[in-house]
Amino acid sequence: MSAAVRAHDLVHRYGRTRAVNGLTFEVPEGALYALLGPNGAGKTTLMKILLGLHPPSSGRAEVLGRDVSDLTHSDRLRIGYVAEGQDLPGSMTLRGLIGYLAPLYPDWDHHLASELARRFRLAPDQKIKSMSRGQRMKVSLLSALAPRPKLLIMDEPFTGMDAVVKDDLIGGLLELAGKEGWSVLLSSHDIGELEMLADWVGIMDEGRMVLSEPMEVLHDRFKSVDIMLNGGPLVTTEELPPDWLGATRSGRRLHFVIGNHGAPEWERDVRGRFPEAHRLTVRAASLREVFVAITRDRQADPYQLEAS
């Protein structure tokens, strides 16, 4: 499988701090890849490395088959970037901004720019400084998509947006990315939105990639388990097996996420440990449940569940 993004043992240091710490992962070509991680996990630093804005301290990263240290002007024209709080020229109108940007990109698509302006309900002659936050993010997305990039990198584009604006952005992004075969690397704290959007997911923590796999594999592999106990001793969550992730107790109810569902011994182990259980419910874990469970457990053991 060809990769739009590839990193191997990637490291980036700020002084003594390793913001990216031996990270290895790939974004398959044509994938919409959701990048998750707690604050300070290194997601924004990783994206800036991929854009050629920060040099790797060691290791290797490639974008569209080119080492990030060797990106040419032509390479950069094939990469779109949208980020929270992105600066835009407030004194310009959308029409003026398009007129300024279009000559800079050989593949600028005027028809697509007009279609996106219509879809996003953007007034061509409104000053950007008078637009709402959601409207300005739509302008950023239009500016990134009209050049028809091969790779789109998005860093927290939906923060603080209302549901209608999110739906507009997501609808436009999904339709175009799918139709054009673009690759998208998208970081966001809106995990519910990402679960609907993405076909691949990666979870970063402390500069490492601790999980990277197709969304359908994650849904098949991780299960949410609820056990209602009926008497017996109340064990602490610390006494449970290490692959019972994110275990919590509320009275007689025990909940955890298990990542080796399908292994023949796991249910036997559960019932053997809790013979007094009178109800055991298993369902596919949501992306949020998987993320919270892995992140919570890694706070106690930072090298748990490392990606292969």
pLDDT per residue as tens digits for the range 76-116: 999 999 988 889 999 999 999 999 999 999 999 999 999 88
Beta bridge partners of 14: 17
Q: Which is more confidently placed, 250 or 118?
A: 118
- Examine the pLDDT at 63 and tell me if it is beyond 90: yes
Q: Which is more confidently placed, 235 or 111?
A: 111
State the DSSP string of 198-261. -SEEEEEETTEEEEEEEHHHHHHH-EEEEEEE-SS----GGGS-TTEEEEEEETTEEEEEES-T
Mean pLDDT of the 255-275 span = 74
- CATH number for the region 3-216 comes to 3.40.50.300
Percent of the chain with pLDDT over 70: 90
Tell me, what's the pLDDT at 175?
74
CB 304 within 8 A of CB 298: yes
User: Could you tell me the strand order of the sheet in which 79-83 lies?
Assistant: 79-83, 151-155, 183-187, 32-36, 200-205, 208-214
Per-residue pLDDT tens over the stretch 172-183: 777 777 777 889
State how far the Cα of 136 lies from the Cα of 256, in Å rounded to an integer: 41
Q: pLDDT category, 240, cuts 50, 70, 90?
A: confident
Mean pLDDT of the 9-30 span = 94
Tally of CA atoms within 13 A in the half-sphere of 147 that contains its CB: 25
Geometric angle at alpha carbon 138, from 137 and 143, rounded to 5° = 95
CB 239 within 8 A of CB 247: no
Please tell me the least confidently modeled range out of 1-5, 7-11, 48-52, 247-251: 247-251
Q: pLDDT category, 170, cuts 50, 70, 90?
A: confident
Tell me, what's the pLDDT at 133?
86
Q: What average pLDDT is seen over the chain?
A: 86
Task: Classify residue 12 by burial, with Cβ atoms within 10 Å: 0-12, 13-18, 19+.
Answer: buried
Geometric angle at alpha carbon 19, from 183 and 39, rounded to 5° = 75
Q: pLDDT category, 246, cuts 50, 70, 90?
A: confident
CA distances (Å), 83 to each of 136, 140, 151, 196, 283, in order?
Answer: 11, 8, 14, 20, 35
